[in-house]
Chain A
Amino acid sequence: MSGRVVRAPLWQRCADVAARAVAAIGLGYLVAALAAAALARWLPAPRLEATMIGSLASFAIFAAVAMWAFAAREAWRVWAFGCLVASGLAVLIWLSLLMEPRL
């Protein structure tokens, strides 16, 4: 961005934007999808209801991740933290599947 006196070289800025854009779209979708599934599994509501709440909320989660991908100070933080959240959600889903199989 223009705040600095010395700007990073062009390729570096392009790589930064690309890393954030891929994180916003790809990682954002992954986290939103896993969150939808985790909510569908863990919410204390009938299955259909829980499924619906998770799906309805997923787009807000997607938007939040996408915005954060561009707001974070460094692009690698987005990837690191995003992958951490995604694996946390995946573990939650896996645990719930161990406890109770799918219909």
Chain B
Amino acid sequence: MKGSFRQSMAWLHTWSGLVFGWVLFAMFLTGTASYFRPEITRWMEPETGRPASYAQAAQGAVAYLTKTAPDAESWSITLPDERQATARLFWRPAPTPGEEAPRRRGRGDNRAVLDAATGEPVSPRDTRGGEFFYRVHFQMHYLPVLQGRWVAGLCAMFMLVAILSGVVTHKRIFKDFFTFRPRKAAQRSWLDAHNLTAVLALPFHLMITYTGLVTLMGLYMPWGVTANYKAPETYFEAMFPRAEEVERSGVAAPLANLPGVLETASEQWGGGRPWIVNVSNPGDASAVIEVTRHSGDQLAYAGGTLAFNGVTGQLISATPEPGPAVLTNRVMYGLHMGRFADPILRWVYFLCSLAGCAMVATGLVLWTVKRRAQLPDPDRPHFGFRLVERLNIGTIAGVPAGMAAMLWANRLLPVGMAGRAEWEVHSFFIAWSGMIAWACARPPRRAWVETLSAAAFLVAALPLVSAATTSRNLVSALLTGDWAMVAFDLTLLALGAALAFCALKAGAYRSAPKPRRRTRTEEAPA
């Protein structure tokens, strides 16, 4: 490009930010919510109870599976932790002779959800829960999964480029830490807000973007693997070593006491928590129990797996310690997922991530604010300007509104409705596109106020909707000491208030008079 390195980087920052900005905003906001994935799932499944100890849940799970699927080829139990109220089970039935073996990951109907405390099966309403925000955050929706992941990867890659070029653009990065001029000309305030949210949490933004790419590295960058291994399976075996599969002996033998086995596993890990339990050949003399460590126990996401003799409960083998590079990969994965984070650190994650949303949003707004002053006729902007402006409004107000709409649908759709979970998801996209349509139909200033107010209402009214439609409400959560659900309702109120504040500010906003002299481009990277 003509001009200095910094100027070309400012250009790159502006345009990569704009082109990918809307999808990035949605990815960032749904990703932010995903730090509270278990809590969102609990909220969306009001039929479920309270978290309980994993040992208690394991006992219930074994009792259920022994009754329901005694001669299965294998059982898998995902144990609850202090944030989850249910244990999730699935089993692989023994293959009938002559029939083709079912696909390894095929779960079909062989699954159950058990209450963590009682071990009784619960049937929560048909919902994707927090899982939807988590999934849509990296694989989109209405697109084949792999294509969606490539879209997310491209966006993340240009997020990385936008961050790096933004840093280059910024010559006063340290000074801007302390600069916020809310009463200065509009462009300055927006620029300051953009810089503040970006610079304050810059290490987080860089970390989350890079580690986000790393989580799907196997899809995006398989070429190192291809260069070293003829078959990907060889690589996977080296990367994820598993105990060898054993044939069923045909000799019946009772399963070892699972809570006892989990106790031993926990001791092996110095007090670590078990998470996924896999039992092959249950009820047979050849049974093996594999216990995988909780992914939130350490910074590294994969905590290792121990294999036990399924009859005697003796430890047979443990996955080997990973090398430094593999460990680095797992730590990056763990950093992105944030599951290791204790409540306070999790809130820091959440707030930094919200700052990331604000960074993307203010950057998008800045694009229009900066250009409006330079329009030949600010009352009749050209098509591109109008498009960006409307998409900004429809997305910045529309994504939170859509997320809230999904929670409304979760409470209002009839529990027995066919395709209920899918309709919850549709309501997210219906509300978002509705907001874009609204933004197109109204004058921009009014559209900002109205869409933001609507979003604020949708979010802040949720505790009331929940109280009116289910037994879950703020008072009962307070009385029973269910602090996660108390925090959930209060957070919804706070987020609603924040959106209402934005709506108020948008209403009071007066666009700056046309500056007499054009501001120098190098000062304003937008």
Query: Which residues of A pack against B, CB within 8 Å?
Result: 1-4, 20, 24-25, 32-34, 36-41, 45-56, 58-60, 62-63, 66-67, 70-73, 93, 97, 102-103
A48 close to B160 (CB less than 8 A): no
Chain B contacts for A46, CB-based, 8 A: 323
Which A residue sits closest to B326, measured CB to CB?
A52
Q: Which of B35-43, B118-126, B224-232, B263-271 contacts A (4 or more CB under 8 A)?
A: B224-232
- Known interface pairs A63-B160, A66-B161, A67-B12; A3-B224 also in contact (CB < 8 Å): no
The contact of A56 among B3, B5, B217, B239, by CB within 8 Å, is: B217
The complex places the Cα of A25 from the Cα of B161 at a distance, in Å, of: 11
* B2 lies within 8 A of chain A by Cβ: yes
Asked whether A55 and B326 contact (CB < 8 A) given A63-B164, A70-B8, A71-B8, the answer is no
User: Which of B164, B213, B223 is the one whose CB lies under 8 Å from A37?
Assistant: B223
B521: which A residues are within 8 A, CB to CB?
Answer: 2
18 additional contacts, CB 8 Å, given A4-B2, A40-B225, A71-B8?
A1-B7, A2-B3, A25-B154, A34-B223, A36-B227, A48-B239, A48-B325, A52-B326, A54-B224, A55-B225, A56-B214, A56-B325, A56-B329, A59-B157, A60-B210, A63-B160, A63-B164, A67-B168
User: Is B165 close to A, CB under 8 A?
Assistant: yes
Q: How large is the interface on B (under 10, 10 to 19, 20 to 34, 35 or more residues)?
A: 35 or more
Known: A2-B521, A33-B221. Contact between A49 and B325, CB under 8 A?
A: yes
Given A50-B228, A56-B332, A71:B5 Cβ within 8 A: yes
**B235 close to A (CB within 8 Å):** yes
Q: A40-B224, A52-B326 are in contact. Are A70 and B11 (CB under 8 A)?
A: yes
With an 8 A cutoff between CB atoms, is B238 at the interface? yes
A-B contact pairs, 17 of them (CB 8 A): A1-B2, A2-B3, A3-B2, A25-B154, A38-B227, A40-B224, A47-B229, A48-B239, A48-B326, A56-B332, A58-B221, A59-B214, A59-B220, A67-B168, A70-B12, A73-B1, A103-B229
CB–CB B235/A51 < 8 A:
yes
Q: Which of B2, B213, B238, B329 is the most central at the interface, judged by chain A CB atoms within 10 Å of its CB?
A: B2
B53 at the interface (CB under 8 A from A): no
The smallest beta-carbon distance between A53 and chain B, in angstroms, is 5
Q: Which residue of B lies closest to A20 (CB)?
A: B1
Interface residues of B in 235-282 (CB under 8 A from A): 235, 238-239
Of A1, A36, A51, A97, chain B has the most CB atoms within 10 Å of the CB of A51
Interface digits, B312-336 against A, CB 8 Å rule (1 contact, 0 not)?
0000000000011110110010000
Which of chain B's residues have a CB closer than 8 A to the CB of A25? 154
Cα A61 to Cα B389 in complex, Å, equals 34
CB of B234 within 8 A of chain A? yes
